Amino acid sequence: MNLALFDLDNTLIAGDSDFQWAQFLITKKVLDRELHEAKNIEFYEQYKAGTLDIHEFLDFQLKPLARHPRAQLEAWRSEFVQKKIMPIIAPGARSLIERHQLDGDLCIIITATNSFVTAPIAQLFGIDHLIATEPEQKEGEFTGRITGTPSFREGKIERLEKWLDEHNLTWLSFLRSWFYSDSLNDLPLMSKVTHPVAVDPDVTLKNHAERNNWSIISLR
């Protein structure tokens, strides 16, 4: 058996779902533009630079989930996926995933973005397994906090290995493993697989990939 791991944002989609979700809520007037837009952009720039404090960001990103009933959030999410995510699906993403699925590889999307936002996006790609940052819930409603380790940088390795253990698997269960990502933030996990693939990479990842003879591809 082989393992195929896919980052989501700026890899399978040509944009960042976390950033787009906050911008969507601003356009819906759910979030105040003056208070949130500049901060949202600031966090996104920190992410791209590899300097993001994930806990500070998640405190900002998850609080809006706690302010509204689950049913309302799900209605907004449905509109968000239709209007903001489907148009930015990378043209080559589905065929890449289908190749791995046809080969019988275990396919997993692993993303720092929270599972509330990303679960329906994973479904768009026909991928059943999602490892994402988990928002805490009480009685079906969000608290605005996280539960467990954020799926970010080294946290992706921790979360993946926990998932594998829960499914009676280890790294040794796989003859070959791939991880497709665009971001320098994913270098820790990319260094664990047998076939790291830089997808439309940022400059830091591109340089690292070239130095280490990693594959570099575009899905756009």
Catalytic annotation present for 202: no
For the CA atoms of the chain, what is the radius of gyration? 17
Catalytic annotation present for 7: yes
Annotated active-site residue in 7, 16, 105, 202: 7
Cβ-contact 151, 116 below 8 angstroms: no
Annotated active-site residue in 9, 105, 186, 202: 9
Checking 151-156 for CB contacts under 8 A at 24+ apart, the result is: 151/110, 151/111, 151/112, 152/52, 152/54, 152/112, 152/185, 153/54, 153/185, 153/186, 153/188, 154/188, 155/54, 155/112, 156/110, 156/112, 156/131, 156/186, 156/188, 156/189
Handedness of CA 116, 117, 120, 123 (dihedral sign): negative
Residues assigned a catalytic role: 7, 9
